[in-house]
Structure 1
Amino acid sequence: MLYSLARPLLFSLAPERAHELTLSLLKSCQKIGMMRQPVAAKPVTCMGIEFPNPVGLAAGLDKNGAYIDALAALGFGFIEIGTVTPRPQSGNPQPRLFRIPGARAIINRMGFNNEGVDQLVENVKAARFKGILGINIGKNADTSVEDAVADYLLCLEKVYHYASYITVNISSPNTKNLRSLQSGHALTELLRTLRKRQLELAAEYQHYVPLVLKVAPDLTGQDIEFIASQLIQFNIDGLIVTNTTLSREGVENLPFADESGGLSGAPVFEKSTWCLAEFSQHLKGTVPLIGVGGILSGEQAAAKQQAGASLVQLYSGMIYTGPELIKDCVNAMI
C-alpha cells in the first residue's frame, strides 16, 4: 500500500538515484522500528541449510552489504549481497540503469560497481542479521578472463567465514567476456579450482559453506547439458537460474529498449523458466535449483517451483510491485 503511493515519486527520479534513495529510506525506517513485514513461516531445507521461507533477495540490490538489516525486515527467507570483486571498482559510466515501465522491465549495465570485498566483509560484520546470507562473487573488469580464477579464489577465501552460501557469478553480460567462463575448459578449470579450495576452507574453518553457480538465460540446450554435467562432476552445491538476458524480446520498440546491458523483469520470465526446467531435467534432483527471473506475482513464483526450483529470488519485480511481492510469493509456494 505504502509503496504504491511512493512509486510515482521514485519513478520520477533517475533510476539509480531512486535505487539509492529507496535503500536509504529503508535503512532509516528499520533503525527506528517503523518497518517490519510479517511473512508466514514456510521452512525449506536446501543445500543442507534450513531457510525460514523459500523467497530470497537476488544479488545486485545491495552490492556492498550495507543494507542487510533493512532488507531482512521485509520478510525475505534469505538475502544475497554482491556481486563483489577483489578490488573496488566504479563500474560502467552513467547512465547505466533504465526502466521500461510498459513491459515491467529494467535494463542495466552497472558493471559490478562495488566497494571491494574487504569493505563488504566489514559491512557484514557490522550487520545484526543472523539469517541466511548469500555472498555473490565476481572478477574485476580489468582482470583478464585467463586470470579470472585468481579473483574468484581471493573473494571465496575472504567471504567464506561470513557467508551461508557463496555464489559464483559468471553470467553478468556487463563485464567483458565474463560469460565465456560458462563453457568449455574455462568452466571446468574454474569449478575444479574453486571446489578444491572450498573443501580446504571447510576443513580449515570446520564449517562447510555451499558453493553455488549463477548462469545466464541465453543458453542453448547443448550449453545446459554441458553445465549440468560439470555441476555433477564437481559436486557443486546449487545453481541459480538465471541472470539477465541480452535478448530484447518483449520490449521491442519501447523507450530505452536499444540500450546495451542485461534485461530483467517480466520479459525474462519465460526464457529463465525454460532454462530452469531444462536444468531440472538434466540434473534430476542432484543439484538444488534457485529460480530467478521475471517473478512479479505469487503465481510466477509457484511456476518456478513447478519447473524445479527449491527456492526463488526477487529483484526487478519488487521495483514494479513493492515488498508485498515477498509475502505473495511465500503464500503461493508449497
Structure 2
Amino acid sequence: MAGILSVPDHLRRRRATSTRPPDATVEHAVRGHRHADIATAWSLAGPALILLMALFFLPVLTVFVIALTDWQFGASSLSFVGLANFREVFADQGFHASFLNTILYVLIVVPGTILLGLGIALLIESGKSCRAFYRALHFLPFMATLTAMAIAWEALLHPTIGLVNQTLAGFGLPTANWLRDEHTVLPVLAVIGIWQNLGYAMVLFLAGLKAIPQDLYDAADVDGADAWLDRLRTVTLPILGPVTMFVSIVVALKAFETFDTVQVLTQGGPEHASEMLLYTLYRESFQYLRTGYGSAVAVVFLAIVVALTLVQARLMDRKVHYQ
C-alpha cells in the first residue's frame, strides 16, 4: 500500500522545483525594468524641471543676491552691503503703510468675493432659464484686460462727469472724489478687486454645486432639514468646503499681487493711502532705480506669499474633510 501511495521521483522533483523562490536572475531582471522605468520618467520630466529651475529658481536666487548689494539700475559698479537693505525695508514707514494697505485690501476682497460668488452661483443654479447667459455675463470681468478695466473704472468714478457720482446726485445722495480721498480710495479699489474676481469664484462654486449628489438633499429632507437655509447649512456649505478654501487661496494670492489698478488709477496716492506691496516694489526698482532695495522688497514679498500659501494649505488639510 505504501508503494502504491508513494509519489514518483520525477513528480517530487518537479514539485520541489515549482516551490522554489525566484532566482537571482529573475530578481535582477525585475530590478532592471524598475530602473529603466525610473530613467524613462526622469528623461520625460527632466526638461520640464530644468525649464522650471531656469525660469523660477535662478531668478529668485538672482534677486536675493542683488538684495545683498547697493546696486542701482544702470550703474556699472556695486558693493556688498549684507542685510542692510532688509533692515531698511523693515524700518521704512512707507513699506509699513503699503504692507498694511495690502493686508486690509486682501481682508476685504477675499470674503467679499467668496460671499458674492457663492450667492450668485446659488441664484444661477436655482434658476430655470438663461443660465449660460448669466454665467458668461459674470465671468467677463475676469477675462478682461486689467489696464482696460481700470481705465473704464476711472471714467465711472470721475468726480464730475462719472456715472457713479451722477447717479448718486440724481437720488440726492452725497458724492465724493473716490480716488483722491484717502478714506475712500482703498475700499473703492477693493470693490474693483471683488468685481474682477467675482466671475472666477462663481464658476468654481457652480461646478461645486453641480457635483453635490441629490441623495444628500433627499437625506436632509428625511432628517427634517427641508428648509432652504437648513439645506444650505447642513449640506451645501460643508460639501463646498474644498472649493471655498481653493477660491480663498487663489483670490488671496491675486489680491496680494494687485498692481495694475493701483498704477492706472491712483499711483499709490493720496498720501500712500492706496500703495500696495507690488507698487512699492515697482516704484523703488524702476522709478527710483534703487534695485538693491527693490530686490529686498521682492524677497520679503515672496516670503509673505509663500507663508500665506503654506498656512492656507494647512488649513485646507484640516478644515475641508467631511463624512
Higher relative contact order (CA 8 A, sep 6+): 2
If each structure's strand is expressed as a fraction of its own residues, which one has the higher value? Answer: 1
Structure number with the higher helix fraction is 2
Report the structure number with the largest CA radius of gyration. 2
TM over 0.5, yes or no? no
Scaled by the length of structure 1, the TM-score of the pair is 0.23
